[in-house]
Amino acid sequence: MFAKVLIANRGEIAVRIARACRALGIRAAAIHSEADRGALHVRAADEAHEIGPPPARDSYLRAERIVALAQEIGADAIHPGYGFLSENAAFAELSAKAGVVWIGPRAETIRRMGDKVLARQTMAAAGVPVVPGATERLLDGEALAAARRLGFPVLVKATGGGGGRGMRAVRAEAELAPALARARSEAGSAFGDDGIYVEKLVEGARHVEVQLLADRHGNALQLFERDCSAQRRHQKLLEEAPAPGVGPELRARLGAAALEAAHAVGYESAGTVEFLLAPDGHFYFLEMNTRIQVEHPVTELVTGVDLVEAMLRVAAGEKLEVQQSELRIHGHALEARIYAEDPAKGFLPSPGRITRFEAPAGPGLRLDSGVEAGDAVPVHYDALLAKLVAWGETREAALARLDGALAACHVEGVRTSLPFHRWLVREPAFRAGGIDVGFVERSWPRGGAPPRELAP
């Protein structure tokens, strides 16, 4: 096992990784920008090192500096977490060339799955269902021809990146040209690559994903599915496991497809295969995330598998300890992502200093937080503060537990998404299970008060 791991991230995921390292007797080394000198992830680590000025491009995105630092401090490995450089193949290669173990899949896998067109081609060749559409980068004229061939509505998507950036729904031909321009501009700015392609827009779809875990000895597991359909502008807001309404037969097909995807790229470490689940029960490959996911706690709670610890063990060369036949789903779990955003004002970011942060504790509750009272929320980074997770024997029990926990959660000093989550868990359509990815956009107003009276 490693003696020291450098955590190339910040916030709640850096805290989570530090705790997993401590459980395995590994010394955790944090990095931080000038803005994060007093951050919780710095306090949670065994040692911390300043990496640069507040802007991410000058600190958390400095791959060469981070790898050099790992060498300087004698770190055996780098854990990239999620976001930032976690799906950057060049970073993984730099780490490997420097003799520092990369805690994640091979650089080749990251590169292949990071290019959405190449990923679609790979999955189609492996027999994994893909959404009808282009399997190559398109010029604007080619995109128009593809859209006409597929029939509107279509989805314009960036070939690289994720998180909904560089993605536009187009319902009529007149909307295509401006959508292409916006998608290319956004993708070029976010990913340094303005490549796009076009695929059919699957109406009324749900976002269902399957958790993977694979070692370096040819063993691969699928740890069942999560539903991530509660999202806004392709940004997930609440996730749950297992997915409501997914029975044994569909669950088996989803899991088998995810394993086919893993074998097609020789996957190692933790990862996720995301699917669109259509109303008719057909599902289609969306993308593969070659990293730990924000929503991994719900899978951990229903399977009993510590995914972050497993990543560390796999990277150290150990074999997976559990067999597929031993895995079971126990109960139900839901995760609310608490953002420093104002949902009554279009989810505008709300930086500042947290003057109060209180979250309930008790059986069936878990809080993965990157902040405490007194901490600053900088303007420079993702607005995710914490994740409040509830488990119950049934979905109804987990919902009731989460509802109560949200009502008892209080954050002051910055606006948060808590009012949205309190509304969502009481919405009849959500409680019934199986909302589609457009539900939040249709149901939550773009400004003003929430749709109904909320608990304080």
| Catalytic center residues | 291
* Farthest CA pair distance, the chain: 59
Of 440, 408, 411, residue with least CA distance to 423? 440
Of 53, 50, 54, 55, residue with least CA distance to 66? 50
Question: For residues 344 and 241, is the Cβ–Cβ distance under 8 A?
Answer: no
Which residues neighbour 135 within 8 Å (Cβ) at sequence distance 6 or greater? 117, 120, 121, 124, 197
The sign of the torsion formed by the CA atoms of 318, 307, 354, 405 equals negative
- Rounded to 5 degrees, what angle do the CA atoms 229, 230, 232 make? 110
Length of the chain: 456
Is there a cis peptide before residue 242, judged by omega within 30 degrees of 0?
yes
Question: For residues 73 and 45, is the Cβ–Cβ distance under 8 A?
Answer: no
* Residue 38 backbone phi and psi in degrees, to 5: -105, 15
